[in-house]
Chain A
Amino acid sequence: MKAMTRMFILSLTLAIASLAGLRGLSQQPDVIIRPRIEQETRLAVADFVARATANDATETALKVFNEVLWNDLKFCAFFNLLSKNFYPLKTLRSPQDVDFENWRSSQLDADFLIFGNLQADAAAVVVEAYLYDVKTGQQVLGKRYRIEDSRLMRRVAHEFSDQVVYQLSAGTSKGVARTSIAYTSARGGSKEIFVTDYDGWNARSITANGGLNKFPDWARDNSRLAFVTSLQGSGRWELWIQNLKGGKNVVKVPSSFVSSPSFSPDGNKIAYSTRAESANDPDLFISDPDGGDRRNITRHPGIDTSPSWSPTGQQIAFISDRSGTPQVWVVDADGSNLQRLVNEGGHCDSPNWSRDGRFVAYSWQAPTQWKHDIYLVDVSTGKIFQLTSGNSSNEHPHWSPDGRHIVFQSDRSGSKQIFIMNADGNNLRQVTAQGSNEGPAWSGYAGE
């Protein structure tokens, strides 16, 4: 209880401090991510140690666990992770080993402390993980994990990281350590859909049909992936919905062209770009995931593509060239109330609506340039923020489910690869490195 109250007051302080700070310093508004990425909470993460006897299996598991946990907590952008150089030398195995006074020292001044132990034997790996409030000396979290397959070591570290984020953000974020990213990977002549853990590990193929598979999008509960497929020699595109527990269905569409599917927030509808029977130009359509109840919501001679739903499912952001060049537009899901959201000339692509409804991320190619960069537009004010810059092309932004990060593709490393960053453009991390990868989509939370 005390810890929660403290956290509450801490985050209230953070919230109000951020307001107060803004009153004094009005030069810093830019993109504000709530809670702010101020890394206000000082978190110490002591290396986990062997509980009893050190053996090779324990050493290997420890190495993986410590590295993954550190990287997760660093990337989540909630904490100021305190450098291990300043930690007290005493090994922490269990709560009675902690001398909180040392962790409160002015040099370290930790707010919270993570430590624990791990033991591997022939049968299983057991991890005991603790989160303590350094100021009060009280336990915030105590978890014991038992895994029989040491390949799940990363998973355990991810899970504990998410628990820490959830507790210390007072439920604001569930963390992203256990989320996944789907993308298109070029393999020889074909393009297949792949899914990887958010940190680039555990990549596995979803399709292996040797054709072209593109534009994956997740149902928010992670049960299904929608994408478009052109099988070799077929000369036509199809809209597929792959159930990740097995089985797929091909959505009936009215023409041989279909592109950029997007699941509605409740997963009961799917929006995509296709040509109506009588038209030459693609319009946006919404239908049930089986293709039933299909409605054209744009009906315009221009090219309409790349739909992305608002979090309420009421609106859809999309790309249309009806004004001359491809720009970001918004239309109600019933087809009425069309508005232009971005009107900057040049070439916009791939809008993606944030989970809190405030921003639409998109890529933009300025009229005089060959490359794209990632931008956000504040939907209510129309104000635009640039997130990436430099000589490389950055495209296809997609929000993380907690709204604090964005995944995108970039050719900054030479070939097209997948990267993630904070929603304010900082904290870049490369996800893929092999081959050529594009069109990423960040998963939701399983069971949501």
Chain B
Amino acid sequence: MKRYAVFFSVVLLFASSPAWAGTKEEIIRLQSDVLQLQNQLRVLQKNVEENGSVLKTLLEQLNDQVAKNQVALEGMTQGLQAQKADVGQSLGEVRRDLQNLSVKWDDTNNRIAAIHQKLEENQMRLSSLREVPSESEGAAVEPDQIYNAAYNDYLMGNYDLAIASFQDFLSNFRDSELSDNALYYLGVSFQNQGRYEQAIQAFDQVINLYPKGDKTPNAHYKKALTLQQVQKNTEAIEAFKKLATLYPESQEAAMARAELEKLGVSLEEPARRRR
């Protein structure tokens, strides 16, 4: 009981605190908490399923018992009243047990629902944390904190979260120095999810909006790889060529040249022909 009290008071403290001045650590921790909550929910759901199967077995056993009782009843050719009363009573008990079980089952369901609600509340808090307070008086959330949280999700392979966070970052801090990085990792996150069209769009934005950005050669390279993944090989070759021509000194250009060589494509010829 003490635990529950602590729990609720902490939740109250948590909920009533003014203007969530989210810091980077808190965002990351909240995300990791939500992940943990999801894990725990999974464990709980598994448990409920197990309980369900136990319940099912119990019900089956009860059914068997009822059936047995009925057989016994039929077998009692003497038809003794007392025995009939006994059987009736035990059937009543079985029914009562069943009722008890269903009450427990409801109880379990209620708890799950409560936990679901808690999880949703936490997720709402998380998303409201991401919505940067525009002119609230609390400490402003630094753009790089949002960016780092998103990048952290990318590192952990939580691509759904990473995509949502990078998009939030871009809609709030489009002018940030990290915008090209955010777009680039948005693209890579899409790519990892197999959402290739969106990935290519993101890489194109890096290429078109930040021609001098440090992620631009990478964006060319990843765009070419993504095009290969969707069998657009002609376009992929074009992307490799563009990379090799525009950023010849970059590491990515060296890899593009190697790839073109592997594909048997010469870098020089088409350019000369055009001249």
For residue B251, give the distance in angstroms from its CB to the closest CB of chain A.
6
Which of B32-40, B87-95, B231-239 interfaces with chain A?
Answer: B32-40
Contact with A along B67-83 (1 / 0, CB 8 A): 00000000000000000
> How far apart are the CA atoms of A124 and B229 in the complex, in Å?
58
B7 touches A9 (CB 8 A): yes
Q: Is the interface of A mostly helix, strand, loop or mixed?
A: loop
CB proximity of A302 to chain B, nearest CB, Å:
12
Residues of B91-137 contacting chain A, CB below 8 A: 108, 111, 115, 118
Is B244 in contact with chain A by the CB < 8 A criterion?
Answer: no
The reply to whether the CB of A223 lies closer than 8 angstroms to some CB of chain B is: no
Check B39–A381 contact: CB distance below 8 A.
no
Shortest distance between the CB of B18 and any CB in chain A (Å): 11
B163 within 8 A of A: no
Instruction: Check A337 for interface membership: any CB of B closer than 8 A.
Output: yes
A8: nearest chain-B partner, CB-CB: B40
Whether A171 contacts B155 by the Cβ 8 Å rule is no
B36 touches A172 (CB 8 A): yes
Q: Are A13 and B7 in contact (CB under 8 A)?
A: yes
Interface majority SS (helix, strand, loop, mixed), chain B = helix
Nearest residue (CB) in B for A34 is: B32
Task: Provide the bound-state CA to CA distance between A405 and B24, in Å.
Answer: 24
**Assembled-state Cα–Cα distance A312/B40 (Å):** 22
In Å, the complex CA distance between A318 and B99 comes to 63
- Pair B33/A20 contact, Cβ less than 8 Å: no
| A158-176 at interface with B (beta carbon < 8 Å) | 170-172
CB distance from A104 to the nearest CB of B (A): 10
CB neighbors of A among B183-240 (8 A): 188, 192, 215, 217-218, 221-222, 225
Closest to A36 in B: B29
Interface residues of B in 17-60 (CB under 8 A from A): 17, 24-26, 28-30, 32-33, 36-37, 39-40, 42-44, 47-48, 51
Q: CA–CA, A4 to B148, complex, Å? A: 34
Q: List which B151-191 residues lie within 8 A (CB) of chain A.
A: 151-152, 155-157, 188
Judge whether A206 is part of the interface by a CB distance below 8 angstroms.
no
Q: Is A108 an interface residue (CB 8 A)?
A: no
Which residues on the B side are within 8 Å of A356 (C-beta)?
32, 156
Say whether A135 contacts B26, CB under 8 Å.
no
The answer for the CA separation of A35 and B25 in the assembled complex, in Å, is: 14
Given known A-B contacts A4-B44, A336-B218, A22 and B25 have beta carbons under 8 A apart: yes
**Chain B residues whose CB sits within 8 angstroms of the CB of A312 once the complex forms:** 155-157, 192
A8-B44, A13-B6, A29-B25 known; A20 and B13 CB under 8 Å?
A: yes
Contacts of B36 in A (CB 8 A): 11, 15, 34-35, 170, 172
Band of interface residues on B = 35 or more
Minimal Cβ-Cβ distance residue in B for A21: B10
Beta-carbon contact of A337 and B149 below 8 Å: no
Q: Contact at A381–B24, with CB atoms within 8 Å?
A: yes
B39–A32 touching, CB < 8 Å: no
Q: Does B140 contact A (CB under 8 A)?
A: no
- A26-42 interface (Cβ within 8 A of B): 29, 32, 34-35
Q: How far does the alpha carbon of A106 sit from the alpha carbon of B118 in the complex, in Å?
A: 31
Say yes or no: is B3 at the interface (Cβ < 8 Å to chain A): yes
B62 proximal to A (CB < 8 A): no
Beta-carbon contact of B29 and A335 below 8 Å: no
Q: In the complex, what's the smallest C-beta–C-beta distance from B183 to chain A, in angstroms?
A: 13
User: Does A19 contact B33, Cβ atoms closer than 8 Å?
Assistant: yes
Count class of interface residues, chain A: 35 or more
In the bound complex, do residue B40 and residue A171 qualify as a contact, i.e. CB atoms below 8 Å apart? yes
Return A314 CB to nearest CB of chain B, in Å: 7
Whether A358 is near chain B, meaning CB under 8 Å from some CB there, is yes
List residues of chain B with CB within 8 A of the CB of A338: 251
Contact A379 B40 (CB under 8 A): no
**Which residues of A (1-55) have their CB < 8 Å from a CB of B?**
1, 4-6, 8-13, 15-20, 22-23, 29, 32, 34-35
Could you say which residues of chain B place their CB within 8 Å of the CB of A19? 14, 26, 29-30, 33
Q: Which of A4, A337, A381 contacts B43 (CB 8 A)?
A: A4
B157 — which chain A residues lie within 8 A by C-beta? 311-312, 314, 357
Q: Are A299 and B254 in contact (CB under 8 A)?
A: yes
When distances are taken between beta carbons in the complex, the residues of chain B under 8 Å from A300 are 251
A16→B10 contact, CB < 8 A: yes
Question: Do B29 and A18 touch across chains, with their CB atoms under 8 A apart?
Answer: yes
Enumerate chain B residues within 8 angstroms of A10, measured Cβ to Cβ. Answer: 3
Alpha-carbon gap, A18 to B30, bound state (A): 10
Q: Which residues of B contact A1 (CB under 8 A)?
A: 47-48, 51, 108
Given A20-B10, A34-B36, A381-B148, A12:B155 Cβ within 8 A: no
Across the interface, A9 reaches (CB within 8 A) one of B3, B28, B30, namely: B3
Complex Cα–Cα for A29 and B1 (A): 30
C-alpha spacing A236/B131, complex, angstroms: 58
- Which of B1, B118, B156, B215 is in CB contact (< 8 Å) with A357? B156
Given known contacts A299-B254, A380-B152, A16 and B33 CB-to-CB distance under 8 angstroms: yes
Give the shortest distance, in Å, between A241 (CB) and chain B (any CB).
26
- For A32, list chain B residues within 8 Å (CB): 25, 29
Using known A-B contacts A358-B156, A381-B148, determine if residue A6 contacts B33 with beta carbons closer than 8 Å: no
Q: Is B11 an interface residue (CB 8 A)?
A: yes
Contact B152 A335 (CB under 8 A): no
Q: A135-B3, A357-B156 are in contact. List 14 more A-B contacts (CB 8 A).
A: A4-B43, A9-B3, A18-B29, A20-B10, A22-B25, A23-B17, A170-B36, A170-B40, A171-B43, A312-B157, A356-B156, A357-B155, A379-B151, A380-B149
Which 8 pairs from chain A and chain B are nearest by CB? A357-B155, A312-B157, A380-B148, A357-B156, A380-B152, A171-B43, A13-B7, A380-B151
Identify 16 residue pairs between A and B in the complex whose beta-carbon atoms are under 8 Å apart, listed by A's number.
A1-B48, A11-B36, A15-B36, A16-B33, A17-B6, A17-B10, A311-B157, A334-B221, A335-B251, A336-B217, A336-B218, A336-B255, A337-B218, A357-B152, A379-B151, A381-B148
Which residues does A use to contact B, with CB under 8 Å?
1, 4-6, 8-13, 15-20, 22-23, 29, 32, 34-35, 135, 170-172, 299-300, 310-312, 314-315, 332, 334-338, 356-358, 379-381
